[in-house]
Structure 1
Amino acid sequence: MNRIKTMTMEWTGDSLILIDQRFLPLEEIYVECKTYQEVAKSIKDMVVRGAPAIGASAAFGYVLGAKQNQQYTEKNKFFQEMKNVKKVLAETRPTAVNLFWALNRMEQVMNDNFNLNDIKAIVDILEIEALKIAYEDIEINKAIGRNGEKLLKDGDNVLTHCNAGALATVDYGTALGVIRAAVENGKRIHVYADETRPYLQGARLTVWELMKSGIRTTLISDNMAGWVMKQQKINAVIVGADRIARNGDFANKIGTYSVAVLAKKHGIPFYVAAPLSTIDLETENGDLIPIEERNKEEVRFCHKTRLVRDDVDVYNPAFDVTPHDLVTAIITEKGVVRQPYDKNIPELFK
């Protein structure tokens, strides 16, 4: 188990190869990262995105950092350099808690093996741990799918926002994993995919993934969601998450809050699918979740086409926070959680 290769990423032992999601679906381009700095840049520049995928990529980046620093024969120097590796990787994206979860797990494993005199042995242990994180993510996503597909009925039309599929994870997906599992169980599911401006993850990634999987999919622009609901074309909404607070508030791609409000208005169940690693028990509520603000050019352009003059002011938060009272249930690998979230979410960790 020293390699892994999925749609999203490949670990070769010496490098992390990522499909460049900025160019999908029109081009399939791959970025090979041979250093932790290159992994950090790929996370920051959204070559790879999606909370679980970011976490796994950061773990492999940590391993590359360890390999880069294993020439230090003095153990304390090696451990000091690894603090900088973690810092560089941690500063790439502030909202997705899986990033910090994965880095903290890697650092803990390193610290647990401080007494080993052979630095190469510590590096090998770190590589095994990163591979565990990746393989665990796949199994976790499949468990989320099994738990969540029971909430869908044969013939349901499901609305998604952004991309919470194989491309947002190591493989299989969270929100799309629920849909995949339902289809694998013989249910006929039709997906309406929001385009998800400004980065178009729904249009470029979700539609591409679902069509490759043979799942019937219809693309709509973000501002069509309310009207499609009013026409009674939607039976359920399923989205992923980048951070879930202790009380059930959660951050996800910008526009999720609007979809949740519309679903509540129209009496449509609104589900969040995410692994336990996305839940941050240290964050009491959504007001405390840091929201990343990205480059204004992402809004001034639509993919590669300029829409407005470069002197037009732009506000570009990458995420919004949806309050827990708009969430029907949270689907995790340990089961489906419902209100009261402030009581039931902590129970998942016991």
Structure 2
Amino acid sequence: MQFQPQSADQRGVQALEWCGDSLRILDQRYLPEETLWIECRDAVSVAEAIRDGVLQGAASVGIAAAYGIALAARHIGQAADWPQTLSADFALLAAARPSAEHLGWALRMLQDRLRRPLGVAADVPALLAEAAIAIHTSDDEANRAMAKLGAQVIRRHDRQPQALLTFGHGSALGVIRAAHDAGLVSRVDVCASYPGNAGAIPHLELSQNDLPAVLHADAAVAHLMKVANPSWVVVGAERIAGNGDVVNTIGTYGLAVLAMHHGLRFMVVASSASIDLELETADDIELGDVLAGQGGQPLFDVTPADLIDVIVTEKGIVERPDQARLAGLLSPRRLH
């Protein structure tokens, strides 16, 4: 059973390929110089890939974790108590990148599938694989919706071609591509954010799609905002707290502060699965446990909600995010 959904507009880097008995992951640590794939056949190898930074992007991490559970179930084959049998695998994958709310959400979706009636003759490994594929497919659909909504927000403020600034990937780049297709982008300035090649990958993706992208060092960002005057800063999110605070790749907070100083608009693009309403503010996160990488180097930072102009999700947009607006977005009574 092979499955490889395309990204939002079928033009981004394809990072995951489900092969039925394995998960192939593009090792993004070596891009753009090399294209290397890692083949994972169990939950342990998927967790290692997530923990070691093979994958970038919170949504991709969540999808990979879902496939990791499917691989664990396939390896086991049969069990009398599936939730108990897979509990260690769920815990292992959850701990691989605790900052990513999408990862926790994806694992909860598979746990919910195990709680539903399975039947005596149910092929549980196949059912979990189908659930993981459904999460992968829904992410593609969400990316298309976010790309459209984000471009509409940009057009609403300015219908002329304009410069955008990013160091994001995934959903953030989907918005930029959609805006470019709508004739709204004159140039994309990409920040080479720490750690590693977090700026090189989005620059590669945009350049491959013939967008006018320029890669800049972090130290040049303030000067760039002053002299080039981009209209929007567009980024993604690892997790969004109930009040609208955003956890994302280190450097996001600095970009938001600089954007505020220079009068630029700041857009966060993330699926609704990244919103954690139980987390009142991002200050409630244990920074040392969640936001620090190996050797104590910070991998993520927190951007306060009052620095964010709009959050774009597949369910809709939230301008000037706060607790009431985000709760309303996720309300089951909301039709769109």
Structure 2 residue runs of 5 or longer lacking an equivalent are 7-13, 332-336
Are the counterparts in 2 of residues 113 and 122 from structure 1 also a CA contact under 8 Å? no
Contact 1:2 1:131 in 2 (8 A): no
CA distance in 2, matches of 1:193, 1:288: 31
Partner of residue 154, structure 1:
160
**Which of 226, 241, 244 in structure 2 is aligned with 1:248?**
244
Residue 257 (structure 2) aligns with: 261
> 1:208 & 1:337 partners in 2: Cα distance?
30
**Are residue 295 (structure 1) and residue 294 (structure 2) matched?**
yes
The 8 Å contact of residues 93 and 292 in structure 1, kept in 2 or not, is answered as no
Write the letter of the residue equivalent to 1:49: Q
1:2, CA displacement in angstroms? 5.5
Post-superposition CA distance 1:63-106 (Å, at most 9, x none): 0011111244xx12x43221111011111011011111000110
Matches within 5 A, 1:33-72: 33-72=40-79
SS of residue in 1 equivalent to 2:292: coil
Query: Which residue among 284, 303, 314 is the counterpart of 1:333?
Result: 314
Is this contact kept in 1: 2:31–2:197, CA < 8 A?
no
* Aligned-partner SS, 2:185: coil
Task: Verify the 8 A CA contact 1:179 1:189 in the aligned structure 2.
Answer: no
Aligned equivalents of 2:175, 2:99: Cα separation in 1? 23
Aligned partner (choices 69, 79, 91) of residue 95 of structure 2: 91
Aligned partner of 1:177 in structure 2 is 174
Give CA-to-partner distance per residue, 1:160-203, whole Å, 9 cap, x none: 12x322xxxxxxxx111101111222333411111002323112
The answer to whether the Cα contact below 8 Å between 1:294 and 1:318 also exists between their aligned partners in 2 is yes
**Code of the aligned partner of 1:194:** C
Kindly state the Cα deviation for residue 325 of structure 1 after the two structures are TM-superposed: 0.4
| CA distance, structure 2, for counterparts of residue 71 and residue 340 of structure 1 | 46
How far apart, in 2, do the equivalents of 1:122 and 1:71 lie?
8
CA–CA distance in structure 2, aligned partners of residues 240 and 340 of structure 1: 15
The residue aligned with 1:107 is 111
2:142 counterpart (133, 140, 143): 140
Instruction: Give the AA of the match of 1:239.
Output: V
Change (3 A) 1:340 1:276: closer
Asked if residue 195 in structure 1 is aligned to residue 192 in structure 2, the reply is: yes
CA distance in 1 between counterparts of 2:76 and 2:130 reads 17
Give the AA of the match of 1:187: L
Give the secondary-structure state (helix, strand or coil) at the position aligned to 2:267. Answer: strand
d(CA) in 2 for partners of 1:64 and 1:250?
Answer: 32
Q: Give aligned-pair identity as a percent.
A: 37
Q: CA deviation at 1:31?
A: 0.5
Report if aligned partners of 1:62, 1:86 keep a CA contact under 8 Å in 2.
yes
CA distance in 2, matches of 1:343, 1:188: 33
Distance 1:21 1:340, change over 3 A: closer
Partner of 1:301: none
TM-score normalised by structure 1 residue count = 0.87
Distance 2:15 2:117 in 1: 30
Measure how far apart 1:292 and its partner are. 2.6
Matches within 5 A, 1:14-25: 14-25=21-32
AA aligned to 1:277 is A
Correspondence 1:121-132 to 2 at 5 A = 121-132=123-134
Contact in 1 for aligned 2:311/2:321 (Cα 8 Å): no
Tell me which of 162, 169, 175 is aligned to 1:164: 169
Q: How many residues align?
A: 317
1:231 aligns with 2:237: no
Secondary structure in structure 1 of the residue aligned to 2:38: strand
1:348 partner amino acid: L
For residue 340 of structure 1, report the CA deviation from its aligned partner: 4.9
- Dislocated runs of 4+, deviation >4 Å: none
- Separation in 2, partners of 1:118, 1:209: 45
Which residue is equivalent to 2:20?
Answer: 13
**Structure 2 contact 190–215 (Cα < 8 Å) conserved:** yes
Match of 1:302 in 2: none
* Aligned equivalents of 1:33, 1:18: Cα separation in 2: 8
Q: Is the 8 A contact 1:182 1:189 kept in 2?
A: no
Aligned match of 1:213 in 199, 205, 209? 209
Tell me, yes or no, if structure 1 residue 316 matches structure 2 residue 297. Answer: yes
Asked if 1 retains the 8 angstrom alpha-carbon contact of 2:164 and 2:185, the reply is: no
283-292 or 37-46, which moves further after superposition? 283-292
What letter corresponds to residue 25 of structure 1 in structure 2?
A: P
8 Å CA contact 2:42–2:71 kept in 1: the answer is: yes
The 8 Å contact of residues 29 and 197 in structure 2, kept in 1 or not, is answered as no
